Structure 1
Amino acid sequence: MSDLQDYLPALIRGAGLTLVLAVSSVILAVCVGMAGALAKLSNSRSLVSMATAYTTLIRGVPEFVMMLLVFYGGQIVLNRICAAFGFHAPDVNAFVTAVFTIGLIFGAYYTETFRGAILSVPRGQMEAARAYGFSGWLAFRRILFPQMIRLALPAAVNNWLVLLKTTAIASLIGLHDVMFIADQAGRTTQAPMTFYLAACVVYLLVTSGSTACLARTRVKLNRGVREGRPH
């Protein structure tokens, strides 16, 4: 227990970094997912093909492999580009790499989540909006987007919880998140289970708090919406 107390400040800092990483990654994933969903639903064959190739590729490669490919492959590409211009390449930043990789991975999942939610909104509502003179952007913002968010929220919450746990792989590239600190502390004190359990508690607290907050958000979004019930 004394070892845990000694490393508690470091674990708290690691937990804070993990949370910042998760929030940054989910913001990127949501942006990529929305762009991917709109591309898949567009009338452009090239956009549909690119979005389909992206989701197929990303969902078919393990997160562990993708993280290593981006981190080490990115460094190799950067080295070659800098060498071509005759100057020394900087080291690839572990945090930026983790945000980019996790955001890109979960952007594929959010693409399918948002696409399904958009398809669940009756097309007649958008047609009625256009008949009333709404522009495409105004109809999206006032009609489609609010309903899409409500319909996508359950799956989006699941994606967030999985993303939060996936941040643990960032420790593989040297990011000093809570998992990295727990692993190093366990090796140093020869009490790995103590610190791995501490990391588990951190993830459990964050996921439980997220679930509670998002559940309240879902209640607010569903206020005034009549849900069908089986007879």
Structure 2
Amino acid sequence: MFEGYTGYIIAGAQTTLQIALASLAVATLLGLIGAACRLAPSLALNRLAVAYSTMVRGVPDLVLMLLVFYGGQTAANAVLETLGLAAIDFNQFIAGVLTLGFIYGAYLSETFRGALMAVPKGQWEAGSAYGMGRLHVFFRIILPQMIRLAIPGYTNNWLVLTKATALVSIIGLQDMMFRAREAGAATREPFTYLLVVGAVYLAITSVSLLLLRWAEKRYSAGVRMGEL
């Protein structure tokens, strides 16, 4: 039925998963930085984080993908040409990862900010009363509680990010969607391969849900559901 394209699609699925995981790592880092800036006493940092979150959430992912890959490459080469240096071609994998990470970092910054704000301020005071420094209090007391509160939103963002990896096919990266389109064009059965791609995405998100629900239960041990 698949006329030898099974391995071809699976190789694309591996690329898709690599993009998703690498993008999640970038998004998590940017999300933590964004949340810290939103809660920082510095007005400049706060406004910068708000601008980042507002801009990214207000512009379609597809537009940002094209702007970063094509617009960024054009701008970078214009600067290099001015400096008398050779032009460069953006690596498609890196461009896709950085773009998706940049986009979903904005969403995760709001998730982390909300989780941090939900932790009672008295937890900081209690830790200080025991003679613990702020970093010690954060990593031993605040962070575990923040993770528990952030997991539902984190899960949702991960699922959406995973599906958004299909966008990287428009910049020529041979992910699962790109290869499925090629296989469909070669066999004149595009619907069949789109079904395969949909099934693989469903499998990835289903396994992800199981793992993240396990993590949520682990961090919620000893806590009544529905209570902070």
Aligned to 1:161: 159
Are 2:54 and 1:72 equivalent residues in the alignment? no
Aligned to 1:145: 143
Aligned to 1:63: 61
Alpha-carbon separation, structure 1, partners of 2:219 and 2:37:
26
Q: Percent identity?
A: 47
Q: What pairs with 1:1-231 in structure 2 (closer than 5 Å)?
A: 1=1, 4-228=2-226
Amino acid at match of 1:18: T
Q: Cα deviation per residue 1:178-216 (whole Å; 9 max; x = unaligned)?
A: 000001111121110011111101101111111111111
Alpha-carbon separation, structure 1, partners of 2:155 and 2:28:
12
Alpha-carbon separation, structure 2, partners of 1:207 and 1:148:
23
- Aligned pair count reads 227
Alpha-carbon separation, structure 2, partners of 1:87 and 1:54:
31
Alpha-carbon separation, structure 1, partners of 2:43 and 2:68:
28
Alpha-carbon separation, structure 1, partners of 2:43 and 2:194:
48
Amino acid at match of 2:26: L
RMSD: 1.1
Amino acid at match of 1:224: G
Give ranges in structure 2 of 5+ residues lacking alignment.
none
Q: By how many angstroms is 1:71 displaced?
A: 0.3
Q: Secondary structure at the match of 1:6?
A: coil
Q: By how many angstroms is 1:53 displaced?
A: 0.4
Alpha-carbon separation, structure 1, partners of 2:113 and 2:56:
16
Q: Secondary structure at the match of 1:103?
A: helix
Q: By how many angstroms is 1:11 displaced?
A: 0.5
Alpha-carbon separation, structure 1, partners of 2:52 and 2:159:
22
Q: Cα deviation per residue 1:40-95 (whole Å; 9 max; x = unaligned)?
A: 01111001000000000000000000000000011111211221222321211111
Amino acid at match of 2:27: A
- Structure 1 pair 184/127, CA: closer, same or farther in 2 (3 Å)? same
Q: Cα deviation per residue 1:92-150 (whole Å; 9 max; x = unaligned)?
A: 11111111110010001100000010011000011121232222211111111110000
Q: TM-score, normalised by structure 1?
A: 0.95
Give ranges in structure 1 of 5+ residues lacking alignment.
none
Alpha-carbon separation, structure 1, partners of 2:44 and 2:3:
56
* Runs of 4+ residues deviating >3 angstroms: none
